[in-house]
Amino acid sequence: MRTVTTQQPARGSRARGTRQAQALAAALGSMPGFTSAQEIHAELRRKGEQVGLTTVYRHLQALSEAGDVDAIRDDNGEILYRRCETTAHHHHLTCRSCGRSVEVEGKAVEQWSERVATEAGFTEVGHTVELFGLCPDCGS
Task: Centre a 10 Å sphere on the Cβ of residue 44 and count the other Cβ atoms it contains.
Answer: 21
Contacts of 117 (CB under 8 A, 6+ apart): 123, 125
Residue number with CB closer to a copy of itself (67 or 133) = 133
Residue number with CB closer to DNA (7 or 140) = 7
98's contact among DNA, a copy of itself, none, with CB below 5 to 8 A by partner kind, is none
Buried b (16+ CB within 10 A) or exposed e, 82-101: bebeeeeeebbebbeeebbb
Under the binding rule (CB under 8 A), the answer on residue 90 touching a copy of itself is: no
**How far is Cα 27 from Cα 48, in angstroms, rounded to an integer?**
12
Under the binding rule (CB under 8 A), the answer on residue 88 touching a copy of itself is: no
CB 55 within 8 A of CB 20: yes
- Of 10-18, 20-28, 57-65, 91-99, the window that binds a copy of itself (rule: CB under 8 A) is 91-99
102's contact among DNA, a copy of itself, none, with CB below 5 to 8 A by partner kind, is a copy of itself
| Chain residues that interact with DNA, rule: CB under 7 A | 4-5, 7-15, 17-21, 36-38, 50-55, 57-59, 61, 76-79
Give me the least distance between CB of 111 and a copy of itself, in Å please: 8
Which residues are 12's β-sheet partners?
Answer: none
Give me the least distance between CB of 4 and a copy of itself, in Å please: 40
126's contact among a copy of itself, DNA, none, with CB below 5 to 8 A by partner kind, is a copy of itself
3-state secondary structure of 120: helix
